Chains A and B, each alone.
Chain A
Amino acid sequence: MSTPRVLILRAPGTNCDLESAHAFELAGGKAVLVHINQLLQTPSLSNQYQILCLPGGFSYGDDISAGRILGNQIRHHLQETLVEFKSAGKLILGICNGFQILIRSGILLADDEHGEPATLTWNASGKFEDRWVKLAVDGHKSVFLNGIQSMYLPVAHAEGKFVTRTPALLDQLRSEGRLALRYNSLRATNGQVPYPDNPNGSQADVAGVCDETGRVFGLMPHPERFVDPTQHPRWTREGLQEHGDGLLMFQNAVRYFG
């Protein structure tokens, strides 16, 4: 199996770059950290990579709104590069802040005549929260979720509530199979998952969304925070799993090029 190269994009305020790189390496990839300024200067750097990962953190402090400034930088300067990257059959993964950036940049959900069709806005709780959530996979569209039915992962964010501009847009995304990952709960009533199992009040309990190809995927939970069994919050009760739930996502990405 060839070893795919993973570009881990760093920007001021990115802070999950090292553990995301670690997760890709555990899965058999070769991860390289690249600063946004480097990529802005030499967009063709991306040609050397098969996977682009936008890790979590607070790019530019999440000032103004989460992911906005880096999202705009991508819109202004890297649109073409990323469209090319995508159409070359490569993979793009946005985790937490990376998901926010993908949404803001228009890479994940294309703008319509009124602008961005959806957003990730302030949690219904009004605050940043770190907690573990149960997740369910819907459909088979996302390459990253191949063969996964459910996962248990942590979220840690303030602005993760997925909202579409209109109900019709939500329906459309659902019918296209792009609402690939959702918060799940045994306590769901009328199909709606209550807080805190849905930690942010996302419409349709959306936790992750993919593009029309299934090769671009963004999610609020952190798969890189559950690749080692000791990261599970209850391993001292339930024993050590063979590997963390999140590792499969990285393995899927690496195997895609196998």
Chain B
Amino acid sequence: MTLWEIDIYPAEGQPDRLGNAVSVDAADLGLAKDLVVSAARGFLVQGELDETQAKQLARELFADRVVERTVVALAGDESLTVPPNGKPQLLHVILKPGVMDPVAQSALNAIADFGLRVDAVRTLRKFWLPETSAETVRALASRILANDSIEQVVVGPLQFDHLQLGSPYQFELTHVAILDLDDDGLTRLSREGQLYLTLVEMQTIQNYFRELGRNPTDAELESIAQTWSEHCSHKTLAGRIAYRDENGEQRFENMLKETIFAATQRIRRDLGPDDWCVSVFEDNAGIVRFDDEYNVVFKVETHNHPSALEPYGGANTGIGGVIRDPMGTGLGAKPIANTDVFCFAPPDISTADLPPGVLHPRRVMKGVVSGVRDYGNRMGIPTVNGAIYFDERYLGNPLVYCGNVGLIPRNKSTKKVMAGDWIVSVGGRTGRDGIHGATFSSAELTSESESLSGGAVQIGNAITEKMVLDVIMQARDRGLYNAVTDCGAGGFSSAVGEMGEKTGAEVWLDKAPLKYDGLSYTEIWISEAQERMVLSVPPENWDEFESLCSSEGVEASIIGKFVETGRLQLKYNDHIVADLPMELLHDGRPPIIRDAVYEPPVTAPMNLPVAASIDLNAALCKILGSLNVASKEWVIRQYDHEVQGGSVIKPLVGVDNDGPGDAAVVRPVLSSHRGIAVSCGMNPHYGDFDTYHMAASAIDEAIRNCVAVGADPSRISILDNFCWGYTDRPETLGSLVRAALACRDLAIAFGTPFISGKDSLNNEFSYESEGGKQTISIPPSLLISAMGQVEDVRKCVTMDLKEAGNSLYLVGLTSDELGGSHFALVEKLNGGQVPKVCTDRAKQIFASVHQAIQSGCVRSCHDLSEGGLAAGLAEMAFAGGLGALVSLADVPTDIQGAVDVAALFSESNSRFVCEVPVDRKANFERLFDGLPFAAIGEVTDSGRVVVTGSAGVTLIDSSIQELKEAWQSPLRW
């Protein structure tokens, strides 16, 4: 047995990609200037290889000989530690044992294809640094080179001579002594065992086992903790809440059910026979009708806590996980589009100002974007929509929302587990990764989370998931299984527990294929190892199913049987390691009862400056350059947004393909012209004023984005994703309930159903500082994602101005609503009124805009949001490479007195700017009869955006180059 190390360096004259990236990051984070780093990627290969064979692998497999050179030697050999010129310090970065290493796994198979015998491969990275202080080396290692939660840094030569492969497992049944614990003991057990259950829940479990007269096994306790976790059961929001606000008190038995679900039920009832919802809040994703043949499904999830610790892996498995939701919906939907929305702290914060345990936001952002990119692109799913919001309060707790749209045949949209079916695990093997993810994501982050919960952080392997998708689609069409679900948080425990809820299940944990030896039965049961799906396969179909899987190299294993017992029984070989009634798991949790209060903050009127007193051109540029508004092209281009060939409206539009589109449109069926539009709405800044209006505005924004490209407003479905702080505090929960009430009201008013949703609570970060414990809570962050439908994509429009001479119309009413606006943000103004939604008017406006687009009156259309009319016009102009000449004199408004600044920058909802050819003006105007709208100017070929005030004074006069540069430069990384 030998252990070879193969190091791969760029050849003479070739760029050192890895080394240069470190230099750039070191400069960006202020750690070192002009640091020149040399880097190599390397492989440790263990097996029966002689030198000739090792060199053959280096030559023919590992290195690209046109642009790379290799060093091949036995591990520990001095030739591996000969420093390049002037860089004496060597650091190795290797993955911690058990962390997913997809490249090593592929390499193992690729070596076998050479007919060589190798039993383990590990990848490594090697960095050579110039002489520098130990402190700088430490800072580089921890802030740039490696992530402590998944990787280790070895300074100097690697010392080991063989690769650890895991050690055999000795079965031992473990019971947890719970019967005699007092309340303190129960609380301690919950925390130290990472169960994160409340005392009342622990007492309920204790009582259950006292009646049985025995202690629970560890597997039983873990099963209960996982099923009852906030992440899996949404117990807070689906619990009893007593809510008080300025309108009095309301009591909810099940808050979500009585607000958001209820709204959807009402809409479906009102639609009667025209109801186009198929399955809502039931399956892994919401399902609605698409055309005669297909339904579409939509789901958005968050992966916040893992992304805070390991941004790449967290986001990677976040998108990987949400893709499995449509795959596990009905009998399996084909994923057709991704959407990704992130919230970060501003990336320019000084490294010295970071609290302990916090990764720099720039690193978080780069890691998250790469994680989504690498998984989404490999899955072959276009990432078509997204947004990024910046706020300092996301410093310790960034948010990563990942969503997926899927397409499913109408007759494959429901599933039913049959007793007698095999429980089949398909895809990735089970390892020790991701243990306690479900319960961990329900806990607050602290500066120690990194060491405590390393196991909850994972790396994904997108190709494994793609292979699973490929066989599931074929097996679905051949009708080989009765039900499917994804293995997400809680692993088998959650997947089998949910699938077997109505029947019962017997699971043989020793049958689950493992990545390495040494896993206990409980670890197998709760591991959240990625890329696994669980299917319910009738015994008579097993042979065909198994041979389909093996023909594509996908591992499928029978790990148990669905049985008509109503119990969950786990076995390891012949030992029963858990035996619980399903009803304890699914209905046994004591209801959570919480108080919620909302006191609307007292807001002073905003002291709005008069137009003459400020430089409005500068203000507009500041808004365009503010991080929330600025171009995200650096991110968008890294995502494949055109794979699957159905791209109709891309995320970037306009004459130079770089303007900010309102919503993306794809054709999921290539032989048809029917399309799906995907958009989102979110504005955490409004939440500081009133979470009701924040939620209402987010819904309005998501819908108007969809409508702006041509989606039918009567066929838009939406999702809610609540990310909030610590909801045990009545005022934090109160702000959430208030947002949910807005969701209910707006959904009903618009006839726009919520079809699925998810919440992530306790997004707070705590650390010790000189002044004692400090806590940063995220702002209330409600993401509304919208999925619209387009009857004929050839009628879609984009937001870029098209032709000089066309008229510009402003549609909608402008009010004095600058509270939380970007104008207030860049001019540092406080107070003011937050934008509200007049639902009656908004609904009519959406319908009229849609009709105008359908009838071909509209050449371009842009929704107005951050930065108001001024920012919207600027974006339309520079995206189209054309100018605009606009007067504010006729802007429809209810403002008394000086209106110019408000007309430019107010963020009033339900507004659009439409470009209309002169010969269509009469048609267009007829459609808006009775609604607030006005012709405000025209498209010009001047290349300037010129806006005059109500008194005829020029307020804004900027070239589109200047505006575009202001918009593009901040995040041009």
Contact = CB atoms under 8 A, between A and B. Distances in A.
Given A122-B17, A236-B798, A231 B642 contact: yes
Contacts of B640: 128, 130, 156
Contacts of A10: 470
A18 to B, nearest CB: 7
A62 B102 CA distance: 10
Contact of B67 (A12, A119, A126): A119
A116 B65 contact: yes
Contact of B642 (A37, A65, A130): A130
A237 B796 contact: no
A60 B104 CA distance: 12
A65 B8 CA distance: 12
A61 B378 CA distance: 7
Interface in A1-31: 10, 12-16, 18-19, 22-23
B670 interface: yes
Contacts of A165: 65-66
B463 interface: yes
Interface bin, chain B? 35 or more
A72 B114 CA distance: 9
B344 interface: no
B380 A57 contact: yes
Interface stretch (B55-63, B198-206, B352-360, B924-932): B55-63
Contacts of A35: 551-552
A150 B746 CA distance: 51
A14 B470 CA distance: 10
Interface residues of A, number: 60
Interface in A192-240: 222, 224-225, 227-228, 230-231, 233-234, 236-237, 240
Among A15, A115, A224, max chain B CB count under 10 A is at: A15
B113 interface: yes
A82 interface: no
Contacts of A22: 645, 670-671
Contacts of B27: none
B645 A127 contact: no
A68 B798 CA distance: 40
A76 B113 contact: yes
A97 to B, nearest CB: 10
A233 B107 CA distance: 38
A12 B802 CA distance: 43
A38 interface: yes
A63 B109 CA distance: 11
Nearest to B66: A119
Given A64-B61, A126-B17, A72 B657 contact: no
Contacts of B880: 237
Nearest to A159: B64
A62 B655 CA distance: 34
A142 B670 CA distance: 28
Given A37-B552, A130-B637, A225-B642, A60 B106 contact: yes
A15 B59 contact: no
A149 B681 CA distance: 44
B918 interface: no
A222 B642 contact: yes
B461 A61 contact: yes
Contacts of B114: 72, 76
A199 to B, nearest CB: 10
Contact of B377 (A19, A58, A240): A58
A161 to B, nearest CB: 9
Contacts of B793: 230
B711 to A, nearest CB: 15
A231 B648 contact: yes
A163 B113 CA distance: 27
B64 A19 contact: no
Contacts of A222: 642
B670 A19 contact: yes
Contacts of B794: 230, 240
Interface string B786-816: 0000000110111010100000000000000
Contact of A72 (B105, B113, B377, B796): B113
A131 B637 contact: yes
A183 B470 CA distance: 34
Nearest to B110: A69
A62 B110 CA distance: 12
Contact of B379 (A15, A114, A231): A15
B638 A233 contact: no
A129 B463 contact: no
Nearest to B657: A233
Interface in B36-82: 59-62, 64-67
A129 B103 contact: no
Among A13, A122, A154, A236, max chain B CB count under 10 A is at: A236
A154 B651 CA distance: 14
Contacts, number: 178
A73 B64 contact: no
Interface string B648-689: 111011110100000000010011010000000000000000
Among A23, A119, A124, max chain B CB count under 10 A is at: A119
A206 to B, nearest CB: 13
Nearest to A56: B643
B582 interface: no
A187 B652 CA distance: 22
A23 B379 CA distance: 20
B15 interface: yes
A163 to B, nearest CB: 6
A132 B658 CA distance: 11
Contacts of A73: 113
A116 B59 CA distance: 11
Contacts of B105: 63
A183 to B, nearest CB: 15
B67 A163 contact: yes
Contacts of A16: 380, 643-645
A218 B333 CA distance: 32
A34 to B, nearest CB: 11
Nearest to B647: A231
Contact of A130 (B103, B113, B466, B639): B639
A72 B551 CA distance: 20
Interface in B90-119: 102-103, 105-107, 109-110, 113-114
A96 B671 CA distance: 24
B642 to A, nearest CB: 5
B605 to A, nearest CB: 42
B641 interface: yes
A81 interface: no
Contacts of A225: 642-643, 645, 647
A61 B377 CA distance: 10
A16 B382 CA distance: 11
B642 A154 contact: yes
A64 B61 CA distance: 8
Contacts of B59: 115
Contacts of B539: none
Given A16-B643, A64-B103, A128-B377, A58 B65 contact: no
B377 A121 contact: no
A69 B106 contact: yes
A52 B426 CA distance: 31
Contacts of B642: 130, 154, 156, 222, 225, 231
Contacts of A68: 61, 64, 110
B103 A61 contact: yes
A143 interface: no
B118 to A, nearest CB: 14
Given A230-B667, A231-B645, A61 B64 contact: no
Given A65-B64, A119-B67, A234-B655, A12 B466 contact: yes
5 contacts: A60-B110, A63-B463, A121-B66, A128-B373, A233-B650
CB-based closest 8 A-B pairs = A15-B380, A19-B645, A63-B106, A119-B66, A61-B463, A63-B103, A236-B798, A13-B463
Given A12-B466, A121-B64, 11 more contacts: A37-B551, A63-B106, A64-B110, A69-B109, A114-B65, A127-B638, A129-B637, A156-B642, A156-B643, A228-B667, A233-B652
